Structure 1
């Protein structure tokens, strides 16, 4: 049975982009160089947003499918099935990467 996580409040579920282990020319890259550049991910799911003191919902600033810039540290790592994800708050996301 596959498990699905639906984030609450202003939390965002992100799958980190895996850095390539080979260059375009076929040269193997060292793990330390590849791992240090993993600072982006794809938004898998978002919560509805945070709430003000009056109870109004403040929607999250990203949507499913967005490629986002992530902080070097932070988030809550979790594993669903065979895939690994990280759960961030909306204000932890640094920006949206456009193509």
Structure 2
């Protein structure tokens, strides 16, 4: 199956959480902070959304930073994805 976002929606796959700190301390699963960096898997067409013209500024394969509590988490074929609106994406990592 494949996720195809509508309007100004973007499908993200979250990057893996850091398991050790910079000083080398190994973190257990509960102590790991949810990463806010993800890879763009699919991008909606944009167009008219809520009465405004939306041009999509991200593309598939981009690494992005998104708002901490943004989006809806879905699971498809054993993989976890996050669907967010374009305005929930804060920056593109280059």
With the shorter chain as reference, the TM-score category is 0.7 to 0.9
- C-alpha change, 1:76 and 1:53, in structure 2 (3 Å) is closer
| Separation of aligned partners in 2, 1:33 and 1:53 | 39
Aligned residue pair count: 94
Question: Which structure features the higher share of strand residues?
Answer: 2
Runs (5+) with no aligned partner, structure 2: none
Normalised by the size of structure 2, how large is the TM-score?
0.83
Q: Give the match's secondary structure for 2:32.
A: helix
CA distance in 2, matches of 1:16, 1:73: 13
Give 2:44's match in structure 1, choosing from 42, 47, 51. Answer: 47
User: Matches of 2:49 and 2:71 in 1, distance apart?
Assistant: 23
Displacement after TM superposition at 1:58 (Å): 3.1
Provide the alpha-carbon RMSD of the alignment: 2.6
Q: How high is the TM-score relative to the length of structure 1?
A: 0.79
Which has more radius of gyration?
A: 1
Which stretches in structure 1 are left out of the alignment for 5+ residues? none
